[in-house]
Structure 1
């Protein structure tokens, strides 16, 4: 792994405080040194558990050492009611740097924006942005139109509430969907506000390949947003019709993760 050291004045003058982080890991039975480790990053309110349901073990079964981190304030990581997007990105970079080889960073939802910021600080093997929420006031407008009563509290620093219709497709059984939805928490109020006025991420270090995946039926991320993010990284989104926003938990969860791993074996490795 090539060492790349990036020093920013703010990181030196105002360092992110340390925090205890949850990391879940699935190890392949037969290690394949030709396949890079994969670090999954959940979106706001989710934790590493969202990947432990299906994607972690599936990636390991295909020979990838798979890890999922819960940024501070998420999952079983330490509470962080005042965390910022910079702190979340810091957590991702710190866990990636602990891995023995260059990792692939995979972010979902607002976690894709966190990964995009991490890619500007960590020389990843590749990046994957799943159903990316890159923020902006247009994101708030869409959320208010589609989920008024769940979104309005977040506009005033409260909790963003996403239900079954926002997160999952019709094929996922209602009981399972409700169970997942109950596990979704929330990011810090500061991070939520930062998401609304999010600045574009810096260019990735080392120019790694970046794949954007999503669904045209996403009720959180419109198709135009998927296209915009994909164009930013020089490509087009890989789409999975009929699925909901939470690709890793929906009924057809295997389709996107297989496509991601196929891409890593072919183009991202």
Structure 2
């Protein structure tokens, strides 16, 4: 029992959830894609939902409160985001695989302590703490400093995408970025560790050694938390799901699910 959850429940919020079902239901676990701060469900609807469904996986993407088409929530906290993920996952037809990108991976790591996921995938995970703040300041000081004082975190093209992505596509994606709640940003930088996952689900970490948001050492640390090594895709930017070679990491993710947790 979590006394705080009963005494101080998270305020309900309207959440955007997009989904694509496969043509044939093969009983595979549904995937719930959780975007990072500033992103919404649109980031996965661009490519990943349709492709995952084409390979037999029911695919859903959500927008955390205050993001995408979800209800505005400027005062949102990391706890509220975690609540959003748990609530959406609990409403899916079968035990889901949680897939978190960027800071969405931090939200997923906290949700795993409250939801018995079939498996989890952390894509270019931003798991918070001093190392995260230091890396962000070195890579993008002008965009990171405002976030330390309550402003919005501003990411630029070279942080998110490779040079291969056409400029028009990069501008279109950048124009859709929003901002996370001020308190949630501070909590990200504080880096509170997640509680142990319920049921010890298998966890895969994906990323790029050329990511300008998450350095390779951070990917290695994230994977070691779960007793594995990261699966890397050189030449890609932080937003693997939107970059030119988006299909490569998604196919690797789906192949892993077919071989491991989907058979358990």
For Structure 1 versus Structure 2, the TM-score category normalised by the shorter chain is over 0.9
What is the TM-score of this pair, normalised by structure 1? 0.96
Structure-2 separation of matches of 1:196 and 1:86? 14
| Structure 2 unaligned residues grouped into runs of 5+ | none
- Partner of 1:14 in structure 2? 8
Q: Distance in 2 between matches of 1:138 and 1:101?
A: 36
Matched residue SS, 2:11:
coil
Cα offset for 1:143?
1.1
Matched, 1:57 2:50: yes
2:21 to 23, 27, 30: 27
User: Are 1:114 and 2:127 matched, yes or no?
Assistant: no
Aligned to 1:4: none
TM-score between the two structures when normalised by the length of structure 2: 0.98
Q: Give the corresponding residue for 2:244.
A: 251
Q: Matches of 2:134 and 2:116 in 1, distance apart?
A: 34
- SS of residue in 2 equivalent to 1:107: strand
Aligned positions of 1:52-91 closer than 5 A: 52-91=45-84
Matched, 1:159 2:152: yes
| Residue 170 of structure 1, CA deviation | 1.1
- Offset from partner CA, 1:199-254 (integer Å, 9 cap, x none): 11111100110000000000000101000010000100000000000000000000
Name the stretch that deviates more: 176-185 or 74-83: 176-185
Tell me if 1:195 matches 2:185.
no
1:38 pairs with 14, 31, 35, which one? 31
Match of 1:262 in 2: 255
Unaligned runs of 5+ in 1: 1-6
4+ residue runs of structure 1 moved beyond 6 angstroms? none
TM-superposed CA distance for 1:153, in Å, is 0.9
Q: Which of 90, 94, 98 pairs up with 2:87?
A: 94
> What SS does the corresponding residue of 1:67 show, helix, strand or coil?
strand
Structure 2 residue 125 is the aligned partner of structure 1 residue 132: yes
RMSD: 0.7
Aligned equivalents of 1:186 and 1:133: distance in 2? 15
1:13 CA displacement: 1.1
Q: Give the superposition deviation at 1:152.
A: 1.2
Q: Could you list the per-position Cα deviations for residues 126-148 of structure 1 after superposition, in whole angstroms to 9, with x for gaps in the alignment? A: 00000000011221121111111
The total of aligned residue pairs comes to 262
